[in-house]
Amino acid sequence: MKKFILVLVTLFSITFGMGRIQAVESVNSSEKIYDYGNLLTETEKLEIKDLIMNFINTYKLDMVVVTQRNYYGDLKSYAQDFYDYNDFGEGKTNDGILLALNADAAGYEAQIVTTGEGIRMYDDERIQNLLSSMSYVKADGAGAIVKKFVNLSSSYANQGIPASNKNTYIDENGNYRIKRKYPVFKLGLIAVIVSTVILLILINKNKMVKKASNAKEYLDNSSISIVDRKDQFLRTNTTSVVIATSDGGSSGGGGSSISSGSSGVSHGGGGGRL
Amino acid sequence: MSSTGVMDHKCKNCGAVLKFNPHDQNWVCEFCKSTFNKDEIASYEKSRGVEELTKETEAVKLDTNWEGMDVYSCPNCGAEIVADENTSATFCVYCKNTAILKNKLVGEFNPNKIIPFYKTKEDAIAAFKNIGKGKILMPKFFNNKKNIDEIRGVYIPFWLYDYNVAGNIVGEAKNISTWTSGDRQYTKVDTFAVTRGGSMSFQKIPVDGSNNFDNDTMNSIEPFDYQGLVDFNHSYLSGFLAQKYDVGKDKASEDALVRAKNSTNEVLKRDIVGYDEVIITNSNHNVSLVNCDYVLLPVWLLNIKYKNKIRTFAMNGQTGKLIGDLPIDSKRAIFVWLLSFAICMLVGSLIWYMIG
């Protein structure tokens, strides 16, 4: 029985604990294009690398492309770990964007992972536009998909941080944060009300002369006799109102959805089948 | 005894005037320090006989209407004593002797009962010095002893009403329930007509019978412990001022009736249970007066002179409850408001920072 339990615990650990960490290749981070799926021609690789290096130099964001063929694991986790466990990223917060492209019998699956300032640069709307645009050229092959990704990413970077992420920042640990506006008027209003109530209570303590309105201290409790009790139902009235619901938008006003890789680093991005 | 006389109690040892001592409820001679209890005084005065006592204490009423005041001759030094028509005990301003104007305490003005003073002048001063505890808006030196302009122990005329009240109340009671179904929140209100009727008794609801004293102030020093009521004896007045009533029991009963009816409504309303909300729409009362006593109750009155303004404080001469409206130090009030505001902002900012 004990052996059976031990086996169960081991299987559970492997499935839900260790299984989260994807096996990723250790690479030279300067190459930028890692075509493990052999989806790109050499010409395409050279052309795309030029575009990527231009992007990196212009916008101070790293850009990585990794391909797979018939990858059946979790492409999102693979993509995040590939970025995190290799030496990618610009600056202290490893700013950058990565495209993981997997080809299989059904077509292409793409996963975009953003890190650091890349999270702010590519909000959910831009990620969806990237995926849509890549899907639009999928018939032209992986090279066209990757080039579309690089070009459109450059175009977005050229536009700067989108409005949806203007009130966000990346902290020293690379986490995506919403800039909170100090609620000076709300706090001030609450403070005015509270301090006025306190003052009125204290003023009332100085007013010790009160008008007597009842005679409860002179009531003989043993004399109380209630002889008439009538309770008659009159009517019932039922009303209803629609419950107001929030629209479920991104919390705190930020425009990027966030998830964490096995390393604990925050990432934005998105993906799906093209 | 003459109906216009002034009366004091004399020490049987030296003949000096006796004063009532609230501490031990005895009478003390301030000249030879002899102490007498009530029975000893009564026995002594009885042994001397009414004739002798009257001769010794009687003073001629010099004028019946001197600018609206009555003028008496002090039986101790012969000086004039001026008192308004409602004063029944006062002092001679020259020899400081207590003068009990017994003609003001006869007939309908003869009180049924009295609660003697239990608190002394020193108790009143000590209570006033402590009045600032927990009252941070009070000006710093307001409760300084030197601000006490005048302090008087006064027996104030009160009417005590005993009532039987039969009453009923009519109103609406509601039970409110809410629930959610789908995207709607429903509220159901069940309304009931409720009636309660019953009777109860009130004993000794006090109303002050003098126009000279503010009713709210006199209400605020309640309650008196009626266990302390004793049969009226003018010897308790020695050492204190006293007033006779100038508000009759019918007129004064208006306040007592309102209080009794309100309390009747409260008791009946308390019987309406099992509802979330009760609103009384109508009430009726049948009040019968069972008894009405005319009594004198002890009050220390302190006139406080602060910034050229006189404020009156009153202390229950039996229980020591001291009341009066304290002035507000505007600078302190502004400081307290600003401090509260700053603390609120600081705490709010800390919470805002921590939840971020």
Threshold 0.80, pTM exceeds:
no
Task: Tell me whether residues A188 and B217 touch, CB distance under 8 A.
Answer: no
Interface pTM, i.e. ipTM? 0.79
The Cα-based distances of B119 to B125, B210, B316, B348 in angstroms read 10, 22, 8, 49
Confirm whether A159 is domain-assigned.
yes
Note the pLDDT tens digit of each residue in A74-89. Answer: 899 999 999 999 989 9
**Tokens 């008196």 -> residue:** B224
Task: Tell me whether residues B352 and A238 touch, CB distance under 8 A.
Answer: no
Confirm whether A8 is domain-assigned.
no
Nearest to B131 by CA among B351, B313, B335: B313
Residue of B nearest to A213 (CA): B259
CA B277 from centre of chain: 37
CB < 8 Å to B137, chain A: 202-203, 205-206
Task: Tell me whether residues B263 and A216 touch, CB distance under 8 A.
Answer: yes
Average pLDDT over residues B168-183: 92
Cβ within 8 Å of residue B300, ≥6 positions away: B119, B121, B123, B124, B151, B152, B153, B154, B314, B315, B317
CB < 8 Å to A195, chain B: 337-338, 340-341, 344
Nearest to A134 by CA among A114, A155, A149: A149
Average pLDDT over residues B338-348: 95
As for how many domains chain A has, the answer is: 1
Per-residue pLDDT at B86 = 67
Q: If you compute the radius of gyration of chain B from its CA atoms, what whole number of angstroms results?
A: 28
Element (H, E) at B258: helix B249-270
Per-residue pLDDT at A19 = 42
Write out the two tokens for B284.
């009726």
The CATH number of the domain where A86 resides is what?
A: 3.10.310.50
Average pLDDT over residues A125-153: 92
Strand pairing category for B113-114 and B277-306: parallel
Give the Cα separation of B356 and B354 in Å (integer).
5
Task: Tell me whether residues B216 and A202 touch, CB distance under 8 A.
Answer: no
Task: Tell me whether residues A227 and B199 touch, CB distance under 8 A.
Answer: yes
pLDDT for residue B68 is more than 60: no
Average pLDDT value for chain B: 84
Confirm whether A9 is domain-assigned.
no
The Cα-based distances of B348 to A182, A212, B77, B343 in angstroms read 10, 40, 73, 8
Question: What is the least distance, in Å, from the CA of A62 to any CA of chain B?
Answer: 30
Give the Cα separation of B197 and A230 in Å (integer).
9
Instruction: Quickly state the pLDDT bin for A34 (edges 50, 70, 90).
Output: very high
| Boundaries of domain holding A127 | 30-178+254-273
Per-residue pLDDT at B109 = 77
Confirm whether A245 is domain-assigned.
no
Per-residue pLDDT at A98 = 94
Instruction: Quickly state the pLDDT bin for B97 (edges 50, 70, 90).
Output: low
Residue B250: what residue type? Answer: D
CB < 8 Å to B172, chain A: 234
Count of CB atoms situated within 10 Å of the CB of B151: 16
Note the pLDDT tens digit of each residue in A101-112. Answer: 999 988 999 999
CB < 8 Å to B220, chain A: 208-210, 212
Confirm whether A186 is domain-assigned.
no
Per-residue pLDDT at A112 = 94
- Expressed in angstroms, the distance from the first to the final Cα of chain A is 49
Identify the top-confidence range among A194-198, B31-35, B239-243, B350-354: A194-198
What residues 166-185 of chain A have any CB closer than 8 A to a CB of chain B?
Answer: 180, 182-183
Task: Tell me whether residues A224 and B198 touch, CB distance under 8 A.
Answer: yes
Can you spell out the DSSP letters for B171-196?
Answer: EEEEEEEEEEETTEEEEEEEEEEEEE
The Cα-based distances of A157 to A33, A129, A152 in angstroms read 20, 14, 9
- Provide, rounded to the nearest whole percent, the portion of chain A with pLDDT above 70: 88
What residues 127-166 of chain A have any CB closer than 8 A to a CB of chain B?
Answer: none
CB contacts < 8 A, A to B, total 185
For chain B, say whether A192 makes contact (Cβ under 8 Å).
yes
A269 or B54, which is more confident: A269
Strands (E), chain A: 33-35, 62-69, 96-104, 107-115, 168-170, 176-178, 219-242, 259-260, 266-273
